Structures are given as structure tokens and as C-alpha cells.
A = this chain, B = another copy of it.
């Protein structure tokens, strides 16, 4: 489990590469929530999501010898693109394992950032087998999208910047998927000098984190159906343990609440955020008086949307 100092080190390590993304506010949304809300715009981050933070920290934490052999992941979404970009910055190879039937838009994105795409069958078993084979053959480092201390420390730097910008918050809301940014933010909030509450916003249709906290036993992934495609994954043992110790609560949000919050941000803030990014605002909007009068931070986690398929036009 990474420490608060690991977050500070990660921040120093990645700052030369990433954007210091802006923090926006909306008087209209403040009025709706009865709170003072600060949005950290990682949708405007390089590669279009906060995932570049963890990926860059992980890649630059490798020893020279490890790095020269290359890195690999079997995440085809934002983490895959981020890892490819981070590897390019370090000048090393990056393999991304994707199923044959992955959307063309994801293949293009990963290739555009310099990844070598390796195809597998559509099952998780096949993806892991293909990755394992390459790891054995080339001695690659597997950079998991969230079950990795350097990744977790990197993701926490978004909240760190938000704290610097706002001078402190009462609460921080982030999306709950595999638990990378949630566990990192929780370490920041409970071990750093600026104490605050930390909440995960999770789709009701992918409520493994909520159920894991409730039952005390880590739950498997739900069927991947929620519109928030970045939040379909389940916690790992590592992220579950951090979240269990430090996170104040998981707030469940329905898909229609996510889509309404996403559309609200597009309309009022003129910012493109992806569905997963809208889950924390959806959670805030449905929480009634819980956050009334508070200073609340929200991380807009990414802005990679298929503009041909908007969820409110289905």
C-alpha cells in the first residue's frame, strides 16, 4: 500500500510530463447542490483522462533494466492509451492486449499513442494468457490499471492538486471502478495534512465495491452493462483493503442519473466528460442535505466519448 510520501514523490515524478489541469466551478451547479463544488478537469488531461498520472508514475518508477524490456497491459481503455503515451515519453516499448472485437476507436487511440496492439480472444482468460506469454518471452513489466502501488500513488495526485488549488476541502468524490483513484485519494485524505471525507461514486449496475464494503468480503465483477464503461471493473484485494480502511462511503448511482449529470455538465459547463466522469456529480446531486454548505471536490476523470453514440440519444 502506497504512503502519503509516495503520492508526493509521484507528483514530483510526473509533473514534467502531464498537464496541471484547471479547476472549474459552476454557480448553477452550486445552486443545485447547495454546496461549493470544485471540478478537477482531468478530461482536459493528456490522453483525455487521469490515467496518465498512474501510468506515468509506474513507467518512470521502473529501473533502467526493467524499462528497456518494455511494458504491457490488457486494459484497452484509458489506461492502455495512457500507458502507451507514458512509455513513449520514456522511449520504451508498450504492448496492449485487446480482443479482436475491440471497437476500432480504441485500437486507433492506443496505436495513435504508440502502442503495439496484440490481439486475443474476447475472454479475460485469453487476454491474460496472451499477456503472460509475451511477459515470459520478453521480460515485460505488467502495469495493471489499478492493482499496482505506483499507479495508485499516481492517481492520487489529481486530488493533491485539487487540494493545493482550493486550500482544502470537506469532501472529495471520485468514481469507483477498480478502485485505483479511490484508494489513492483515500490515502491522500487520511494520511496527508489536509484531512477530508472521501466518497466513491459507483454505478448501481456495477456495485461490487458497495457490496464488498457492506459484506466485508470482496465481490466479483458484475456483468459489464453500465453506461459508465470505465467503472465496470471490480476491486482488487489491494484496493479493497485500502478502501475498507479509509473510504467514508460508496454512493450508488443509477445509469439515468449518470447520463443526466453528464448532460448537465455538457450543457452548463461546456465540457465534454465521459459517463464514468459524471458518476460523482450524480452522487452529489442525489445526496440531498449530506453535503449542504460543504466545500466538495470532484474529479472529472476523463473525456473520451464516442461522439457517434451519445447516451441520451439512444
Minimum Cβ distance to chain B for residue A276 (Å): 14
For the complex, give the distance between the alpha carbons of A48 and B26 in Å. 12
For the complex, give the distance between the alpha carbons of A271 and B303 in Å. 9
In this complex, which of A48, A267, A270 has the most chain B Cβ atoms within 10 angstroms of its Cβ? A270
Minimum Cβ distance to chain B for residue A232 (Å): 22
CB within 8 Å for A307 and B266 given contacts A22-B22, A313-B313? yes
With a CB–CB cut-off of 8 A, which chain B residues contact A313?
A: 308, 313
Q: Is the CB of B312 within 8 A of A270?
A: no
For the complex, give the distance between the alpha carbons of A22 and B271 in Å. 13
For the complex, give the distance between the alpha carbons of A303 and B44 in Å. 16
Give residues 23-46 of A contacting B (CB, 8 Å). Answer: 24, 43-44
With a CB–CB cut-off of 8 A, which chain B residues contact A310?
A: 307, 310
Minimum Cβ distance to chain B for residue A52 (Å): 14
With a CB–CB cut-off of 8 A, which chain B residues contact A270?
A: 43-44, 48, 271-273, 303
Minimum Cβ distance to chain B for residue A51 (Å): 14
In the complex, residue of chain B having the shortest beta-carbon distance to the beta carbon of A269: B44
With a CB–CB cut-off of 8 A, which chain B residues contact A307?
A: 263, 266-267, 310, 312
11 additional A-B pairs beyond A22-B22, A307-B310, beta carbons within 8 Å, are A24-B44, A44-B269, A44-B270, A48-B270, A266-B272, A266-B307, A267-B307, A270-B273, A270-B303, A271-B271, A272-B272
18 contacts between A and B (CB under 8 A): A22-B22, A24-B44, A44-B269, A44-B270, A48-B270, A263-B307, A267-B307, A270-B271, A270-B272, A270-B273, A270-B303, A271-B271, A271-B272, A307-B310, A307-B312, A308-B313, A310-B310, A313-B313
